[in-house]
């Protein structure tokens, strides 16, 4: 008998299909194989009070809490499956056991914990199935011939244990330490706090930014056939040019009706390769840009497409490529999906459906799972938003196997009344894969958008007869960086940059959405008009951490990434450093301020202070008197700011133009607070009717 353990039910089903093993009601079994599955993690780390009961009450004298080894308990929601898997492993521990959890550190950790909880320590008869290709029957049967002893993967297992213990030590100890000093709950995490610090840095950079005024001179130039624009420019010492002038140095009238001399024309053909397939982060960025979905919402929808409709491959993947063994699968999906979605196939290049296309079929770049791909058409019963997310994946899939986008960059160097001007333009030669996105004004995450100065086309320009119609002066100011949004923050977490240097990624595909959601749930940040901004508690936490050099690794993306590098190279030393860090911090005499929320207004029910929480403005007397007064930030489909809440608490009304009815209709209304409850009023009967 060969016992096969997978990480997910869908993978167990794929193995059973490949090996023709029937389902018995709880697992798959015949006279040769027994196949069962975990449900992701079946066990979770002990809480401190599981080691010693007195740890349930937080106390500075108990810190640091550093157990010799992290122990585990069953996750309540998957207790039944945990009992089944442990029982089956114990029964079949003398048989050949093949671990087929996901091919990565987390998958290895899941399996090792289950084996440990089953009391299995002798691994001589245990082997590892390892592939990130799509689990088609040929891939499964071939990879089963290449299984290796489980001991070959001991280093990856050690990394998994070390990473989990490190996160536990930092989260438990530093959170308790700071919370006890600040007299409020301050959640700290090895990755989440570094991400919060990056948002803090961006907001400070924006606040400290001083705009610098400059001038641009835009000429409107006409030939006999067409009109285009050009900008005055000057040369830098390094040979580059700029169209920004620090002072107002030209009188526009001097150029009016003057002839334009073409001094040089540069033409350069450029090509843009098709985009890669989606991984989870790329899908989350695209869904935010196109559909305004948060990373957490996109992940939930992708999980539904995978589990319920089975039209999407496993979503929590870091890879944007397929394996070389996946070519037959992709060809089959391509043929089936093109019949359902013919509108996406105008630019396809079937020559790319070949193992020689190393851009998309690349075993070396394949991580835990292959890229996100559609598996079959989404059913009609799916919701509108589910169909929209799935459409993004389908479109990206076909774009990946489409022709190049080919264009010609054109640059005209001009002279008008002795002043040099430059005009840039681009001419599309072959639209290729971009046709899939330009039709609906969408963009893939690789789509480059030309600068406004490059929107000229010179197709019908007679360069021998040009005249300057006019020049306008445009006074501008330099712009600060933009606040982080879901898409840009995900991009930073994938490839963090600090002090001009890139470092290893923060979090994983499976955890990044949860990390951002934790920051939202802890009332550290909030979303307003698609931008992510720090709340009072988030600012307080980072400001306190900045006081102590010893705590600096928690707020540095670079140092957090260096921890990750150390974990991969020497997990034992990494863990020793984390333990030393936690011990030193807990022994240090630190002076964290007591956190006091800023009062928004007075509670109309009990007279207490109304303060800002994660999703609402609430009375701070709830822990004392049980007062439940609340103004929800999201009310009637619109978002209320702290200033809105302050007006309402002061007896004033707030007009909102973007409220939404239950039917999804947008309407305007006036909000006021009556007897502690939000009240709606309208200027016109038409507004009242729309609301219904």
pLDDT in tens, 4-50: 999 999 999 999 999 999 999 999 999 999 999 999 999 999 999 99
Q: What percent of the chain has pLDDT over 70?
A: 95
Which of the residue ranges 109-118, 479-488, 498-507, 615-624 would you say has the lowest mean pLDDT? 498-507
What average pLDDT does range 424-441 have in this prediction? 84
Q: What percent of the chain has pLDDT over 90?
A: 74
Residues 113 and 133 in one domain: yes
Residues 73 and 183 in one domain: no
Domain with 306 in it: what CATH number? 1.10.290.10
What average pLDDT does range 599-622 have in this prediction? 88
Return the higher-pLDDT residue of 564 and 604: 604
pLDDT at 454: 53
Residues 489 and 467 in one domain: no
Which of the residue ranges 115-119, 256-260, 553-557, 659-663 would you say has the lowest mean pLDDT? 659-663
Confidence label for 565 from pLDDT (cuts 50, 70 and 90): confident
Identify whether 682 is part of a domain: yes
Return the higher-pLDDT residue of 130 and 623: 130
Quote the CA–CA distance of 683 and 589 in Å, as a whole number: 60
**Residue 245 backbone class (left: φ over 0; alpha: ψ -120 to 50; beta: rest):** beta
Identify whether 247 is part of a domain: yes
Residue 138 has pLDDT above 70, yes or no: yes
Which of the residue ranges 20-29, 141-150, 502-511 would you say has the lowest mean pLDDT? 502-511
Domain with 117 in it: what CATH number? 3.40.50.140
Quote the CA–CA distance of 522 and 192 in Å, as a whole number: 11
Residue 447 has pLDDT above 60, yes or no: no
Identify whether 567 is part of a domain: yes
Residues 286 and 376 in one domain: yes
Residues 523 and 655 in one domain: no
Quote the CA–CA distance of 228 and 457 in Å, as a whole number: 7
What average pLDDT does range 177-195 have in this prediction? 92
Quote the CA–CA distance of 486 and 89 in Å, as a whole number: 42
pLDDT at 243: 96
Confidence label for 445 from pLDDT (cuts 50, 70 and 90): low
Domain boundary residue among 449, 477, 505? 477
Confidence label for 523 from pLDDT (cuts 50, 70 and 90): confident
Domain boundary residue among 533, 554, 587? 587
* Residue-range definition of the domain harbouring residue 249: 213-273+405-477
Identify whether 45 is part of a domain: yes
Quote the CA–CA distance of 286 and 392 in Å, as a whole number: 8
Residues 226 and 191 in one domain: no
Model's pTM, two decimal places?
Answer: 0.83
* Helix 295-307, helix 384-400: angle, nearest 10: 80
* Number of compact structural domains in the chain: 5
pLDDT at 453: 44
Confidence label for 528 from pLDDT (cuts 50, 70 and 90): confident
pLDDT at 448: 42
Identify whether 592 is part of a domain: no
Long-range CB contact pairs, 340-348, < 8 A, 24+: 340/377, 341/377, 341/394, 341/398, 344/394, 344/395, 344/398, 344/399, 344/436, 345/398, 346/435, 347/399, 347/402, 347/403, 347/431, 347/432, 347/433, 347/435, 347/436, 348/398, 348/401, 348/402, 348/403
Which of the residue ranges 50-54, 456-460, 521-525, 604-608 would you say has the lowest mean pLDDT? 456-460
pLDDT in tens, 617-667: 999 888 778 899 999 988 888 888 888 899 999 999 988 767 877 777 778
Quote the CA–CA distance of 288 and 490 in Å, as a whole number: 11
Confidence label for 256 from pLDDT (cuts 50, 70 and 90): very high
Residues 48 and 183 in one domain: no
Residue 459 has pLDDT above 50, yes or no: yes
Domain with 546 in it: what CATH number? 1.10.460.10
pLDDT at 661: 75
pLDDT at 590: 85
Residues 370 and 257 in one domain: no
Nearest to 359 by CA among 316, 390, 407, 404: 404
Which of the residue ranges 70-79, 385-394, 588-597 would you say has the lowest mean pLDDT? 588-597
Domain boundary residue among 400, 427, 450? 400
Identify whether 78 is part of a domain: yes
Residues 245 and 137 in one domain: no
pLDDT at 660: 78
Confidence label for 429 from pLDDT (cuts 50, 70 and 90): very high
- DSSP state string for 58-113: --GGG-----SS--EEE-GGGHHHHHHHHHHHHHTTTSEEEEES-SSHHHHHHHHH
Confidence label for 251 from pLDDT (cuts 50, 70 and 90): very high
Return the higher-pLDDT residue of 138 and 657: 138
pLDDT in tens, 214-228: 999 999 999 877 889
Rounded mean pLDDT of the chain?
91
Residues 217 and 204 in one domain: no
């Amino acid at each position: 008998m060969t016992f096969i353990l997978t990480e997910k039910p869908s993978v167990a089903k794929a193995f059973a299909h490949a090996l023709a093993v029937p389902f018995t009601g709880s697992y798959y079994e015949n006279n040769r194989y027994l196949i069962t599955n975990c449900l992701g993690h079946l066990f979770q780390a002990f809480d401190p009070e599981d080691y010693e009961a007195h740890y349930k009450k937080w106390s500075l004298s108990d810190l640091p809490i550093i157990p010799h080894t992290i122990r585990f308990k069953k996750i309540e929601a998957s207790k039944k499956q945990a009992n089944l898997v442990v029982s089956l492993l114990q029964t079949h521990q003398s048989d050949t056991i093949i671990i087929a959890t996901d091919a990565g550190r987390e998958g290895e950790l899941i399996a090792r914990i289950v084996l440990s909880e089953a009391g299995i320590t002798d691994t001589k008869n245990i082997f590892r199935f390892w592939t990130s290709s799509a689990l088609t029957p040929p891939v499964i049967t071939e990879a089963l011939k290449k299984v290796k002893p489980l001991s070959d993967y001991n280093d990856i297992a050690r990394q998994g244990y070390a990473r989990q213990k490190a996160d536990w030590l930092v989260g438990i100890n530093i959170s308790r330490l700071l919370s006890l000093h600040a007299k409020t709950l301050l959640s700290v995490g090895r990755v989440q706090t570094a991400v919060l610090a990056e948002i803090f840095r961006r907001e400070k950079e924006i606040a400290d930014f001083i705009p610098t005024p400059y001038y641009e001179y835009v000429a409107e130039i006409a030939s006999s056939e067409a009109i285009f624009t050009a900008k005055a420019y000057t040369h830098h010492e390094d040979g580059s040019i700029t169209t920004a002038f620090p002072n107002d140095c030209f009188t526009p009238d001097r150029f009016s009706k003057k002839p334009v001399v073409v001094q040089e024309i540069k033409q350069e053909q450029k090509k843009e390769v098709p985009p890669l397939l989606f991984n989870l982060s790329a899908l989350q960025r695209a869904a935010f840009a196109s559909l305004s979905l948060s990373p957490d919402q996109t992940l939930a929808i992708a999980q539904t497409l995978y589990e319920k409709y089975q039209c999407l491959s496993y979503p929590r993947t870091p890879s944007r490529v397929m394996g070389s063994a996946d070519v037959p699968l992709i060809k089959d999906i391509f043929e089936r999906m093109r019949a359902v979605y013919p509108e996406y196939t105008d630019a396809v290049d079937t020559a790319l459906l070949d193992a020689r296309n190393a851009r998309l079929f690349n075993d070396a770049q394949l991580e835990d799972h292959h890229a996100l791909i559609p598996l079959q058409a989404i059913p009609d019963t799916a919701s509108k938003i589910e169909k929209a997310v799935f459409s993004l994946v389908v479109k990206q899939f076909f774009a990946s196997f489409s022709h190049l986008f080919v264009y010609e960059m054109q640059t005209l160097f001009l002279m008008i009344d002795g002043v040099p001007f430059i005009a840039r333009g681009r001419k599309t030669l072959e639209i290729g894969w971009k046709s899939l996105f330009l039709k609906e004004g969408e963009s893939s995450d690789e789509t480059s958008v030309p600068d406004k100065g490059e929107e000229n086309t010179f197709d019908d320009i007679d360069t021998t007869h040009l005249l300057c119609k006019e020049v306008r002066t445009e006074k501008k100011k330099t712009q600060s960086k933009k606040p982080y949004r879901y898409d840009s923050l995900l991009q930073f977490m994938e490839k963090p940059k600090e002090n001009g240097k890139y470092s290893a990624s923060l979090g994983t595909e499976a955890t990044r959405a949860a990390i951002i959601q934790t920051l939202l749930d802890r009332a550290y940040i909030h979303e307003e008009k698609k931008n992510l901004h720090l709340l009072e508690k988030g600012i307080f936490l980072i400001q306190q951490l900045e006081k102590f050099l010893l705590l600096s690794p928690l707020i540095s993306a670079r140092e957090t990434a260096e921890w990750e590098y150390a974990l991969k190279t020497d997990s034992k030393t990494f863990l020793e450093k984390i333990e030393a860090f936690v011990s030193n911090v807990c022994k240090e005499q630190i002076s964290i301020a007591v956190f006091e929320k800023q009062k928004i207004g007075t509670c109309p029910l009990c007279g207490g202070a109304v303060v800002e929480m994660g999703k609402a403005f609430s009375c701070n007397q709830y822990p004392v008197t049980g007062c439940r007064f609340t103004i929800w930030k999201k009310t009637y489909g619109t978002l209320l700011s702290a200033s809105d809440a302050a007006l309402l608490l002061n007896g004033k009304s707030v007009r909102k133009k973007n409220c939404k009815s239950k039917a999804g209709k947008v309407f305007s209304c006036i909000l006021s607070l009556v007897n502690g409850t939000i009240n709606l009023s309208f200027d016109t009967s038409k507004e009242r009717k729309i609301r219904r």
